[in-house]
Structure 1
Amino acid sequence: MPIVTWDGSLAVGHDMIDEHHEHLVELLNKTYDEFCDGKSRKSLETVLDELIDYATYHFAQEELLMDKVAFPASEEHLTEHAFFIRRIGEIQKEFLAGTSAISLEIITFLKDWLVRHISQKDYELGAYASAHEGKPVVIDLD
């Protein structure tokens, strides 16, 4: 049973971003399913690695898009990405060291952060990028 359902409410209106988000939701749901099914630490380690790798790739692609369209809120967006990467890195480090386990609290944090980030920050980026992609960027030097 998924912890997040991919539907139109999470779409931001930009094909690349929406495809990436759909895959991130799938990976989060896979992590949740493996947790609920009591899978081995090794299995959870593998899916957590996959989630981190894909999130890192996705953030890099969003950051390239922000540069391409001169997204005005990119600094705040980058700060959120850095926070998530730092936090999930801490979770992974503690898990690999055996000092913590993947818990419902951790999965809920991941879900809440992802849904909030998509519905707020990425929605703004998707709308802006869709409106400005392929258009020349005008910089006011005044």
Structure 2
Amino acid sequence: MPIVTWDGTLAVGHDMIDQHHEHLLELLNKTYDEFCEQKSKQGLEAVLDELIDYATYHFGQEELLMEQTDFPGKEEHLREHAYFARRVGEIQKDILAGTGHLSLEVISFLRNWLVNHISQKDTLVGNHANARQGKPVIIDLH
């Protein structure tokens, strides 16, 4: 059972970013499934590693897009990425050291951070990149 579903409401309107986000959420759901099924510690560590590695790759690509399109909120956005990377790195370090474990609290943090960041911050990046590239932007009427 997924903890979050990609249904288009999280689309930021930029193909590359949306594809990355969809994959990140698939990896988060895979992590959640492993947790719920109480898979081996090694299995949980492997899927968490995959999620972290892909998030790192995605952040790099998104940051390159911000640079290429001269995104005005780039510095704040980079700080958010750095916070997530630092926090997830701490979680991973604790798990590997045996002083922490993958818990529902950790999974909730991952889910909430990703969903909030995508819907609030990455939409701005997608709209800005599209406007700079002459593509339609997403207008949230809510």
TM-score, normalised via structure 1 length: 0.93
Task: Name 1:113's counterpart in structure 2.
Answer: 113
Task: Name 1:65's counterpart in structure 2.
Answer: 65
Task: Name 2:131's counterpart in structure 1.
Answer: 131
How many residue pairs are counted as aligned between the two chains?
135
Task: Return the alpha-carbon distance in structure 1 between the equivalents of residues 60 and 28 of structure 2.
Answer: 19
Residue identity matched to 2:77: H
Q: Does 1:4 align with 2:4?
A: yes
Task: Name 1:43's counterpart in structure 2.
Answer: 43
Task: Return the alpha-carbon distance in structure 2 between the equivalents of residues 7 and 128 of structure 1.
Answer: 22
Task: Name 1:86's counterpart in structure 2.
Answer: 86
Residue identity matched to 2:19: E
Task: Return the alpha-carbon distance in structure 1 between the equivalents of residues 8 and 20 of structure 2.
Answer: 14
Equivalent pairs: percent with the same residue? 72
Following superposition, the deviation at residue 127 of structure 1 comes to 0.6
Unaligned runs of 5+ in 2: 135-142
Task: Name 1:137's counterpart in structure 2.
Answer: none
Task: Return the alpha-carbon distance in structure 1 between the equivalents of residues 133 and 82 of structure 2.
Answer: 24
Task: Return the alpha-carbon distance in structure 1 between the equivalents of residues 2 and 22 of structure 2.
Answer: 13
TM-score, normalised via structure 2 length: 0.93
Task: Return the alpha-carbon distance in structure 2 between the equivalents of residues 130 and 90 of structure 1.
Answer: 35
Question: Secondary structure at the residue paired with 2:9?
Answer: helix
Following superposition, the deviation at residue 133 of structure 1 comes to 2.8
Following superposition, the deviation at residue 24 of structure 1 comes to 0.1
Q: Which has the larger radius of gyration?
A: 1
CA contact (8 A) 1:68 1:133 kept: no
Residue identity matched to 2:59: F
Q: Report the aligned-residue RMSD.
A: 1.1
**Residues 13-42 of structure 1, C-alpha deviation per residue, up to 9 Å, x if partnerless?**
000000000000000000000000000100
Question: Secondary structure at the residue paired with 2:42?
Answer: helix
